[in-house]
Amino acid sequence: MTHAATPAERFAGIIDTLCQAVARRGGGRDRLAGTLVILIWRHLRHLAARIVALAARIEAGRHRRYPSRRPPRRPAAPRRSTPRVLPHGPAWLVRLVPEAAAGGSQLSYLLAEPEMAALLDAAPQMRRLLRPLCRMLGVRLPPRPAEPASPMATERRPTPDTPPGPAPLRPPPQQPPLARSRGRPVPDVA
């Protein structure tokens, strides 16, 4: 009797397929440079290890979800002067290794499943980890679900001066038309 593969196991299988496709392209007639093959391989394995570890923590119940408040913005760190080694841009891996399109298709199918959606909801950092892989394969991440508004924000409380119910519609305030050339009001000529 076999067990159903978890999203993390299926994700690891997709990465294995991608790594094999990159290795075949590196040794075939359309040889990629050996260093580039190794860098792509390492990058894929590093992404896979981080995503699988996070998924395992979530499935084991050891993942702590922090409040969804954004931390205060830190000043931007100075950019590194090292050049990018790997290519960049949407679907760059598919352009280099056309066989990787199959892995992109499998990834988009996996991301559309409810189990993976639950993982993405349980850990928002999973999206951050998946973003580079989705970009290199030309796959779109599913949209983030809208957080429900608090009842206090949507509810209008009546004050003693206003009756309960929807707010009355008010006409927009009248503003004089602006002159096109200098931004001064145009006098009424009627």
Planar angle of CA 37, 48, 80, nearest 5 degrees: 65
Over residues 15-31, the pLDDT tens digits come to 999 998 888 877 655 56
Q: How many residues does the chain have?
A: 190
Query: Containing domain of residue 33, as a range?
Result: 7-64+88-137
Q: 50 Cβ partners below 8 Å, 6+ apart?
A: 129
Over residues 62-87, the pLDDT tens digits come to 766 655 555 666 777 776 655 667 77
pTM: 0.63
Report yes or no on 100 lying in a domain. Answer: yes
Report yes or no on 115 lying in a domain. Answer: yes
CA distance 162 to 157: 9
Query: Both tokens of residue 21?
Result: 């496709």
Q: How many domains does the chain have?
A: 1
Over residues 105-130, the pLDDT tens digits come to 999 999 898 888 888 887 878 888 88
Report yes or no on 182 lying in a domain. Answer: no
Specify the 3-state DSSP secondary structure of 185.
strand
Average pLDDT of the chain is: 75
